[in-house]
């Protein structure tokens, strides 16, 4: 597979990574552990070198899964993980409380190192901006971890442009992770220009719209009771019906290119900037192969103009998060 560099950091990874969250968390019951270990190892064999996890996914289970699955490939793969959440004081099973105090960052990093079975975390993100802790203190804490050799690169997730600038002034930010796809394009307004100016890589999560842009979800699709999409406004039956026009657009291009709608959606992302590395998640081997195939799919300038022209006439319906989660983004 082709590789890409995340901005000016020197961190080089596969052009398409693998988001691992859904293997343990968020989309219903956890998948079979042995199958997910096999899937991650297949990904490495197919050229994927960039894997995304977090302490809160499970919690802990996803990091442990990645640590076991990728242990044979140390030095060949980059595992990114995240800090910034903590158990609620009242209900420890819930992890909706933000905590980016420097002492907490250090504790989380130590535990993540053990679960991932690594000596150094290649890329450590702040999962969400904590309004109670100055971002300069957060960046300073990660800078110390980098100086100690426990972390190599610093990242931010769902941070706003001004927060990124302030953090970058203390410790260079290698990558910013946020949602970005044909049905969520707000990063184009302020985020992407800021990253380009500062030389920071961009890692879009949910590049397939949490599965919607694969064309396999319609207004009648039923999700597991534990599936996060049940509370996402954009996944209401009404919104799914209204948003089918975007999938139909991708399907039209896909037919002409002998590809799938998912591959067109990923290829469109890859065509936006050479420092963009999407991390589609999956628990299925055939979807992994499909996503990897997008890296070799070239969209011409005419293809891109056609997509842009048609997409500009489509207004996507529904918020991407419930209100309480939307408040944590773009700070």
CA distance 239 to 237: 6
- Write out the H or E segment, with its range, that includes residue 219: none
CA distance 109 to 131: 20
Look over the chain and give the mean of its residue pLDDT values, rounded to a whole number: 97
- Render pLDDT for 128-154 as a digit per residue (tens, 0 to 9): 999 999 999 999 999 999 999 999 999
Q: Please provide the DSSP assignment of 266-283 as one string.
A: HHHHHHH-TTB----B-S
CA distance 24 to 319: 25
Residue 302 lies in a domain: no
Residue 13: name the closest of 229, 289, 282, 202 by CA.
202
Residue 39 lies in a domain: yes
Residue 254 lies in a domain: no
- Write out the H or E segment, with its range, that includes residue 235: none
Task: Give how many domains the chain has, as a whole number.
Answer: 1
**pLDDT, position 94:** 87
Give SS3 for 152.
Answer: strand
List all residues 6 or more positions away from 169 whose beta carbon is below 8 Å from its beta carbon.
136, 139
Burial of 39 (0-12, 13-18, 19+ CB in 10 A): buried
List all residues 6 or more positions away from 50 whose beta carbon is below 8 Å from its beta carbon.
13, 14, 16, 17, 18, 77, 78, 80, 277, 279
Q: Please answer whether residues 146 and 122 qualify as being in contact, where contact means their C-beta atoms are separated by less than 8 angstroms.
A: no
Residue 312 lies in a domain: no
Residue 150: name the closest of 115, 119, 104, 117 by CA.
119
Residue 329: name the closest of 181, 175, 126 by CA.
126
Residue 20 lies in a domain: yes
Q: Are strands 201-205 and 173-179 parallel, antiparallel or unpaired?
A: parallel
- For residue 297 the two structure tokens come to 């799919």
CA distance 296 to 281: 18
**pLDDT, position 324:** 87
Least confident of 40-44, 137-141, 194-198, 324-328: 324-328
- Render pLDDT for 50-107 as a digit per residue (tens, 0 to 9): 999 999 999 999 999 999 999 999 999 999 999 999 998 888 788 989 999 999 999 9
CATH number for position 8: 3.20.20.100
Residue 253 lies in a domain: no
- Render pLDDT for 269-323 as a digit per residue (tens, 0 to 9): 999 999 999 999 999 999 999 999 999 999 999 999 999 999 999 999 999 999 8
Give me the residue label for tokens 């800090």.
Answer: 83
The parent domain of residue 291 ranges over 3-210+272-297
CA 6 to chain centre: 14
Q: Is the pLDDT of residue 258 over 90?
A: yes
Catalytic residues, which ones? 57
């Amino acid at each position: 597979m082709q590789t890409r560099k995340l901005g000016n950091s020197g961190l080089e990874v596969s052009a398409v990574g693998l988001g691992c969250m859904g293997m343990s968390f968020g989309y219903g019951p956890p998948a079979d552990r042995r199958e997910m270990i096999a899937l991650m190892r297949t990904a490495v064999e197919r050229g994927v070198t960039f894997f995304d996890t977090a302490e809160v996914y499970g919690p802990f289970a996803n990091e442990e899964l990645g640590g076991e699955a990728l242990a044979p490939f140390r030095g060949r793969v980059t595992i990114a993980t995240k800090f910034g959440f903590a158990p609620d004081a009242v209900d420890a099973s819930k992890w909706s409380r933000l905590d980016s105090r420097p002492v907490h960052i250090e504790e989380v990093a130590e535990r993540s190192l053990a679960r991932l079975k690594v000596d150094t975390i290649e890329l450590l993100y702040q999962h969400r901006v904590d309004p109670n802790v100055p971002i300069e203190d957060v960046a300073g804490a990660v800078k110390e971890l980098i100086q100690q050799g426990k972390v190599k690169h610093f990242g931010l997730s769902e941070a706003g442009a001004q927060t990124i600038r302030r953090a970058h002034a203390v410790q260079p930010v290698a990558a910013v992770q946020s949602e970005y796809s044909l049905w969520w394009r707000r990063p184009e307004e302020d985020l992407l220009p800021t990253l380009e100016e500062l030389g920071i890589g961009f890692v879009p999560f949910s590049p397939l719209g949490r599965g919607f842009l694969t064309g396999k979800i319609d207004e009648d699709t039923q999700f597991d009771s534990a599936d996060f999409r049940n509370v996402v406004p954009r996944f209401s039956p009404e919104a799914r019906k209204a948003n089918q026009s975007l999938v139909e657009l991708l399907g039209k291009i896909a037919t002409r290119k002998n590809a799938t709608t998912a591959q067109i959606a990923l290829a469109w992302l890859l065509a936006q900037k050479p420092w963009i590395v999407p991390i589609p998640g999956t628990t299925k081997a055939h979807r992994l192969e499909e996503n990897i195939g997008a890296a070799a799919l070239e969209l011409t300038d005419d293809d891109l103009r056609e997509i842009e022209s048609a997409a500009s006439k489509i207004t996507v319906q529904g918020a991407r998060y419930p209100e309480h989660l939307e408040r944590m983004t773009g700070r």
